[in-house]
Amino acid sequence: MTELHPLKPFLPANAKVLFLGSFPPPKKRWCMDFFYPNFINDHWRIEGQIWFGDKNHFVDMEHKRFKMNEIIAFLKEKGIAYFDTATAVRRLKDNASDAFLEIVEHTDIEALLAQMPQCHAIATTGEKATTEVCAYYKTDSIPSPNSQITLREGLILYRLPSSSRAYPLAFDKKVEAYRRMFEEVFGMGV
């Protein structure tokens, strides 16, 4: 069965970086209606640690969910955009693993970027998303985690380590990788 993307692209006009994942996990794993909705994924904890020195800044521990309204307001203020590399998929198994996602419809990345004139960076947090972005830009050079490549003039791809707890890298090392990317993109210490 084909599954359409359940979220609209989040594209603040002032965005400087576009995070592209592969596709959201099954709805049963969501704790909010926004990107990186799985409570056991550390994406919002990483950003909380970087920007506020508190990994639980965006976490509502009592209700085991993320503070979606605070996240959205923060992303609009900073200029951080989100979407995925697929707009339609088939899940070959009933889980969130990229290994079992068959992409039916690919995202038009340049159409997203056209809506954000200040955006000159894409950040991916997984192998499938990275591979999809590289295929879209017809480059054979696929960056390893914690590295970057130029996709075209004025556009850099940063491959970050996955924020999934299944990815075998310490939380602090993930924080440092994301921090380096944000410092380069925003041209300042974070």
pLDDT in tens, 40-80: 999 999 999 999 999 999 999 999 999 999 999 999 999 99
Instruction: Give the pair of three-digit tokens for residue 158.
Output: 């940063």
Predicted confidence band at 148 (pLDDT cuts at 50, 70, 90)? very high
* Parent domain of 84: 2-185
48 domain residue, yes or no: yes
93 domain residue, yes or no: yes
152 domain residue, yes or no: yes
Bridge partners (DSSP) listed for residue 88:
4, 105
Whichever domain contains 125, its CATH number is 3.40.470.10
68 domain residue, yes or no: yes
75 domain residue, yes or no: yes
**Using an 8 Å Cβ cutoff, are 158 and 123 in contact?**
yes
How far is 96 from 165, CA to CA, in rounded Å? 13
12 domain residue, yes or no: yes
Which residue did the predictor score with more confidence, 189 or 118?
Answer: 118
Q: Are strands 155-159 and 147-152 parallel, antiparallel or unpaired?
A: antiparallel
Alpha helices, H only, the chain:
43-52, 68-78, 109-113, 127-136, 171-186
What pLDDT sits at residue 95? 62
How far is 66 from 93, CA to CA, in rounded Å? 26
Bridge partners (DSSP) listed for residue 123:
19, 158
Q: What percent of the chain has pLDDT over 90?
A: 77
Mean of pLDDT values over 21-28 = 90
Instruction: Give the pair of three-digit tokens for residue 93.
Output: 């198994």
What pLDDT sits at residue 94? 72
Specify the number of domains making up the chain: 1
11 domain residue, yes or no: yes
Which residue did the predictor score with more confidence, 34 or 128?
Answer: 34
Q: Which residues contact 148 (CB under 8 A, 6 or more apart)?
A: 156, 157, 158, 159, 181
Cβ of 135: how many Cβ atoms within 10 Å? 14
190 domain residue, yes or no: no
pLDDT tens column, 71-129: 999 999 999 999 999 999 888 877 666 677 788 899 999 999 999 999 999 999 888 89
The residue to which tokens 């889980």 are assigned? 95
